[in-house]
Chains A and B, each alone.
Chain A
Amino acid sequence: MNQDWTTLSLLETLSCTFGPSGCEDAVADVIRTHVERYCDEILPDSMGGVIAYVRGDGTPLDGPVCPRRLMFSSHMDEVGFMIRSITEEGLLKISSMCGGDTRVLAGRRVWVGNESSQVQGVFGVKPLHLVKSEDRGQAVELEELYIDIGASTREDAEGVVHVGDYGTFASDFVIFGKDKEYIKGKALDDRVGCAILCSALRQIYAAGLRPACDLYFAFTCREELGISGARTAAYKIDPDFAIVLEATAAGDITGTADYRQVAHLGRGGAVSLMDRSTIYDRPFTDWILKAAEEEQIPCQIKQYVSGGNDAGHIHKSRAGVRCAAVSAPARYIHTASNVVAKRDIESMEQLVMAVIRRLCSKKEGRILRCEIS
């Protein structure tokens, strides 16, 4: 395993940074600071995203479908909560921005606050002993859930937290398993994608690569709400091709039928053909798969039509954008304990660089043009 140390340590920083949908500022700061020296320009983004621009060599390839502008997109936001009210006893009631399954909340430790400061709290539950025995198998409903930050009164709580503030899971970045191959953390969906894009920018800079087309690396907001910052970023960038780097729910656990497992940890990035938001551009996707095959980079096809990502908005931008998506298989996404494999991150880094290197070569760029026209 020849993992780029910087990617892992950056992923740790990103995973531990507070960035629920709508409050991604701290994550944006980490990314901006990291990538500004590796790109030609950071473009302003009205939604709070970060767009890193790498200029092409100024001699675009001919033909109507050759790439002029390629957009990469990863979302910075993570699932979280919003503080809806504070009770007289100083407890916080929340709205969830976590997707459907609220069973992963009770008992968890969380951070609550805003982009500049947060305090720790816990999703408290009524003690099991006082729950009627027939109800002990019932999941705790959202309406019953509350966050206890240790305040005794509303005034106490209001000293540090306000209605409209945000919450995220609090979860250590843990490296575990055989050969320390697995990573557990919060927000790996989609800080993994962000870390890979940062790594690509570093490598482009270090190798002095000058691609034939312009590259835009968009770190977007609010993907988890479906109100994608990628939509406005795509409008601004006006790309003709886009690759979304994501994390997708892997179900590769004991007892789940093979065909329902979606993706397997350790087999490389999962390339999407279709999900609930997009039917991906098949020639472009095939071109990426061929690059992986030729360079022997592990990757797999996402084997289930589920989920959705920034591509859902990007592919409909302006007159349409040809989209592909590659996702890190992640177990237990939308919980505090996302689990990904290091070698999948490495494979995805390699795949992104293979795509970029091919675009640096006029010959390969023409291959893209020929094969998809």
Chain B
Amino acid sequence: MYPDTKELVAALASIMSVSGQEEQGREKLCALAGSYFDAYLPDPSGTHVFVKRCGREGAPKLLLDAHFDEIGMLVSDITEEGFLRVVSVGGLDRRILPAAEVLIYGKETLYGVIAAVPPHLQKAGDHKTAPEIGDLLIDTGYDGETLRRLVDIGTPVGFYEKTASLLGSRICGRSMDNKACCAAAILGAAMLSSEQMAWDLYVTLSAREETGLASGCSAAAYRIRPDAAIVTDVTFAVSPGVREDEGGKMGGGPVVSLSAVTDRGLTRQLLRLAQEREIPCQTCVDACDTGTNATMLSLVGEGIPTAVVSVPITSMHTYNEIADTSDIEYAARLFAAAAEKGGLRL
């Protein structure tokens, strides 16, 4: 049985994974996804590695990478009055923070609200400027003394928003970037049985993408030494401010990157597979950089042929990113097709 796509995304999104904290989610993640794989390999980089084998000795290895981490914050100060100051982890969008709700992952998980300055305390023109991250205060409902016992400097903070349904197959919530793609990778593996497979499939739900380091992905790939790799991450969905040639259409299927940093042969094979299997799919030109783990991954060891397959989302890096579950399911079908007999060729 395949898991329900929305439920899978919701469950993945509920696992805190602020960059650098990915390991904490291991138990929950294994409980959620373990049954679709043959093995879980812990990795010192914090990357979660799941393996599904085809059962043949010496089968080629396909790596399917989806970064597991999410943008967030770290506590940098605790005030006398019980408010927290924070620094950002990854590209936090300043424009959406006043009155936003957060979870503070201290000794207990605490709820908090990012303080919004009441209008009578604002200066003329303040309402036109997004507050600086360093000026934000998180209201916890605690006094400073009690709070210091529950929260340390460096405690991760993530957004509160849960996954919810919009019209049709659209869903919204925190961390669609990149739990939507983690779900696509897991779902793809769930669709495969070992008899159908021509490849051993390594799914890496990798650490530390949002910090721009790609270190979790590269380290895991170095140990795995795959013969080919697909990176799956979110891309921009066409929406106000996003042109058609800057991303993909929501509901139009996964977006395959045409880029100088990805492998042309592998990319063409994926597009052909999508056509053969009648899986809706789109392309987007990311000439110099896909903005994903692909750049670093392709340079691991002696080099790994790498393609990028993305799920389009809107409002990226907000706490209500919107995705379409049909895109996640089409991406999953493409990943399954890639690892099957008659799928990708070396």
Residues from chain B with Cβ under 8 Å of A69 in the complex: none
B107 contacts across to A, CB distance below 8 A: none
User: CB of A137 within 8 A of chain B?
Assistant: yes
**Per-residue 0/1 for A104-138: is the Cβ within 8 Å of any B Cβ (1 yes, 0 no)?**
10111100000000011111111111110000111
Residue of A nearest to B167 (CB): A150
Quick check: A150 and B168 within 8 Å, CB to CB? yes
Asked whether, in the complex, the Cβ of A254 is within 8 Å of the Cβ of B118, the reply is no
Are A184 and B101 closer than 8 Å at their CB atoms? Answer: yes
CB pair B236–A127 under 8 Å, yes or no, is yes
Does A255 interact with chain B (Cβ within 8 Å)? Answer: yes
B322–A249 contact, CB under 8 A?
A: no
A241-269 interface mask toward B, CB cutoff 8 Å, 1 = contact, 0 = none?
00000000111111110001010000000
CB B292 to nearest CB in A, in angstroms, measures 12
Q: Does A187 lie at the interface of the complex (its beta carbon under 8 Å from any beta carbon of B)?
A: no
How far is B194's CA from A218's CA once the two chains are assembled, in angstroms? 69
Q: Quick check: A184 and B111 within 8 Å, CB to CB?
A: yes
A306 proximity list for chain B (CB < 8 A): 119-120
Known: A100-B127, A107-B100, A178-B146. A332 touches B115 (CB 8 A): yes
Q: Is the CB of B96 within 8 A of A124?
A: no
Q: Tell me, in angstroms, the Cα distance from A251 to B93 when the chains sit together.
A: 24
Quick one: closest A residue to B111, CB to CB? A176
Least Cβ–Cβ distance between A149 and chain B, in angstroms: 5
* Distance (whole angstroms) from the CB of B150 to the closest CB of chain A: 10
- A103-B98 in contact given A124-B240, A251-B120 (Cβ < 8 Å): yes
In chain A, residues 62-101, which have Cβ atoms closer than 8 Å to a Cβ of chain B? 89, 91, 99-101
User: In the assembly, what is the distance between CA of A273 and CA of B335, in Å?
Assistant: 67
A137-B120 contact given A107-B320, A176-B111, CB 8 Å threshold: no
Q: Does A24 contact B (CB under 8 A)?
A: no
Q: Which residues of B contact A106 (CB under 8 A)?
A: 95-96, 318
Q: In whole angstroms, how far apart are the Cα atoms of A122 and B174 in the complex? A: 12
Q: Does A148 contact B (CB under 8 A)?
A: yes
**1/0 per residue B237-251: CB within 8 Å of A?**
001111000100011
B265 at the interface (CB under 8 A from A): no
Segment with Cβ contacts to A, from B21-29, B196-204, B269-277, B309-317: B309-317
Instruction: Flag if A136 contacts B94 (CB, 8 Å).
Output: yes
Assess whether B91 is interfacial by the CB under 8 Å rule: yes
Q: Which residues of A contact B96 (CB under 8 A)?
A: 106-108, 125
- How far is B137's CA from A137's CA once the two chains are assembled, in angstroms? 17
8 Å CB contact of B246 from A104, A122, A130:
A130
In the complex with contacts A119-B166, A176-B110, A181-B141, A107-B172 CB distance below 8 A: no
**Given A107-B100, A339-B113: A122 in contact with B322 (beta carbons within 8 A):** yes
**A58 → chain B closest CB, angstroms:** 45
Chain B contacts for A144, CB-based, 8 A: 240-241
Query: Which residues from chain B sit less than 8 Å from chain A, CB to CB?
Result: 79-83, 91, 93-96, 98-101, 110-113, 115-122, 127-130, 132, 137, 139-143, 146, 161, 164-168, 170, 172, 236, 239-242, 246, 250-251, 291, 314-320, 322
